[in-house]
Every structure is written in C-alpha cells, then in structure tokens.
Amino acid sequence: MLQGATKKALTVPFNYFTSEWFDKRMKINQERLKTFKSTCEKYKDKLKFERLEESSQHYKSLWKLKVMGCLIRKVGSTSLQNTIKEVNQVNHLNRPTLQQLKNRSKKWQTFIFVREPMERLASCYNDKIIEPLKDHNKPKFVKAFRLDIKRLAMKLKGHKIFHQGEEPSFTDFLVTKVLNEDWGGIGYGSHWAPYYKECAPCTLKYDFIGLLDPTMEETKVS
C-alpha cells in the first residue's frame, strides 16, 4: 500500500502543491494537534507514559535540518527510516539518549505519522501471519509467533480447537495479542501497540501529525 501511494505521490506535478494546498494542510494539522492535546488532558491518567527511555528506539533524526520523528511500526516506518538515512547520507541511525530525546523534542521540529487503527492491525495480521505462509523458508520465529497465538486462543476462547493446517484468524490475533495487551513475549508487540506506548504523545512535543493514507486523500485540495 505504502509503496503504491509513494509511487503515485511521485507522479504529482510540483505545481500541484500550491499555497492553497499548504494552507489546508496546516489547518488540518492544527486540528490534529488540538485533538492530541484535548485527548491527553481527558485521559491523562490512563495515557501516562512510563517507557520513554525504552521507546527511544523509535525516534529518528534529520540532524542538519534539526527535525526528529517518531516512527511507528506498520505506519510506513521502514520507508520513512530509509528516507532519513538517504538525507543523512548514512547506513545506520543511532538511537538517541534519553537526554537527547528530551532536548530535541523541545528545540527541534518534531513529527509523527499515524494510520487508521483497524487498517494498521489488518496490515500487521497480513504481514506477520498471511504473507509468511507463502514462504516455505519462513524463519522459526514466525512459526513460533503463530503457534503462540493458537496456544493463547485455545486458552482464552474456551479451549478452541485448531484443525490441522488451520491458521489463526484475524479475530484470534485481536483477542490474543491486541485485546490481551500482549506487547511483549513471543511476537512483534510494537507493531500493534497503541501509539501512546511508543511515541509519548502526551509527554513530548509534536509539531506535525501526518496520516498514512494510501488513497492519497491527504493531497487533495478540495
């Protein structure tokens, strides 16, 4: 999806991005920032963030431009990371220290990209469970992940029985990993963990909130 959207974006004429387009984007961004703030205030106890140092692995910086972003799994993070590497002209991006993270958040421009929640979960299920079935040389870790879902599904859903060759359904994935809040253990927890557990939206300052939108609705002026 992202690759298709990126390819489509590259075909958009440069003069498409008019002052009207930028004005609309800025207005949308201001509304999103207001939503961030009001949500943090409303659910401040529930959204309390306590893993800032651990989550520093998700933050990548464009040093010369003094821009830092939090890259969320299944929200175009791989493409964004590769782009940042190209701009920085490096092959590896260092993980910022806790102090660097706090300082850059206050002094640099910061961004985060989000995605429609169910679309993100569906992408994760497809990427981690469906697609690997096509690869006969899939790593043992992927097999262990699927077996763990089956084990938890049988335990949580009244001893559900999986027939030979039957794979975990999307519902099994949601019940055992997402609703069960299994962010660690066997699996790819950060690929479905809530945004507030990864990017501290109520602790750190963000200047721009982008939407991963494969339909390219974000670029429309009307």
pLDDT in tens, 53-87: 777 889 999 999 999 999 999 999 999 999 999 99
Q: Which two tokens stand for residue 76?
A: 């175009």
DSSP helix/strand/coil, 127? helix
Query: What whole-number distance in Å separates Cα of residue 36 and Cα of residue 16?
Result: 29
Contacts of 63 (CB under 8 A, 6+ apart): 88
Whole-angstrom Cα distance, residue 81 to residue 70? 10
Fill in the DSSP letter of residue 174: I
Is the pTM higher than 0.75?
Answer: yes
User: Tens digit of pLDDT for each residue in 169-192?
Assistant: 999 889 888 887 765 555 567 888
What residue spans define the domains of the chain?
2-115+199-219, 119-191
What value does the CA radius of gyration of the chain take, rounded to a whole number of Å? 19
Tokens of 63: 């040093």
- Closest of 10, 2, 17 to residue 76, by C-alpha: 2
Q: Specify the residue for token string 């990427």.
A: 127
Dist. CA 207–CA 140, nearest whole Å: 41
CA dihedral 47, 52, 54, 60 (to 10 degrees): 110
Let me know: does 178 contact 123? Beta carbons within 8 Å. no
Give tens-digit pLDDT for 110-155: 999 999 999 999 998 988 888 877 766 666 677 788 888 888 888 8
pLDDT at 107: 94
DSSP letters for 143-172: HHHHHHHHHHHHHHTTS--PPTTPPPPHHH
Average model confidence (pLDDT) across the chain:
81
